[in-house]
Amino acid sequence: MLCDDLGTEAADFVCANFTSRKIAFIHAKDGDDHSVSASALHVIVAQAQKNLSLISRGGSVPKHLKRWDRKSKWAKTSIRRWRLGANSLPTKLDLWKRMRSEILDHPDGKKEVWLVLGRTLDKAALLDQLQTPGRRSAITGQVVHLLSLLQANCAQLGVVLRVFCQ
């Protein structure tokens, strides 16, 4: 597990398990106590959407692989980006190549994109708006459209989308 947050990251966190051939690109957003907000959701959905090119077979390479090592720290902090992983694992480009060959391009590889939405989307409020006549709004429609579009694009690539919210 490593943190690639800030700038043109692959995801806020990238988690890979080579034994089970599973990888998760985790995009996290802490909002401003929105219950249902298309604008707050748009940022994280756009981030996940643009990074689907990394997940596709033979896809692109993350821009900041130099920080995919055990010593890299967040700017101006002592917080290490490498959160968890065996010392035997390669780093930087070699780590990406291993992720690519053993998970992303492997026929048994399992790929996931996670949206972790702190104070950005309240599931109960969204369901209430969807299920109660007269409660739907343009914002409700935009939220559903954003999530549906990301889900469709993930499905085309064989990627499981998971949304974690309040």
* Residue 154 or 60, more confident: 154
Whether the per-residue pLDDT at 16 is higher than 90: the answer is: yes
Q: How many domains does the chain have?
A: 1
Domain that holds residue 79: 2-165
Arithmetic mean of pLDDT over the chain: 91
Nearest alpha carbon to residue 16 among 112, 154, 151, 157 = 112
Q: pTM for this structure?
A: 0.91
Burial of 142 (0-12, 13-18, 19+ CB in 10 A): middle
Q: What is the arithmetic mean of pLDDT over 49-64? A: 89
24-46 per-position pLDDT tens digit: 999 998 777 667 778 888 989 99
State residue 34 phi and psi, 5-degree precision.
-85, 145
Task: Work out the percent of the chain whose per-residue pLDDT is above 70.
Answer: 98
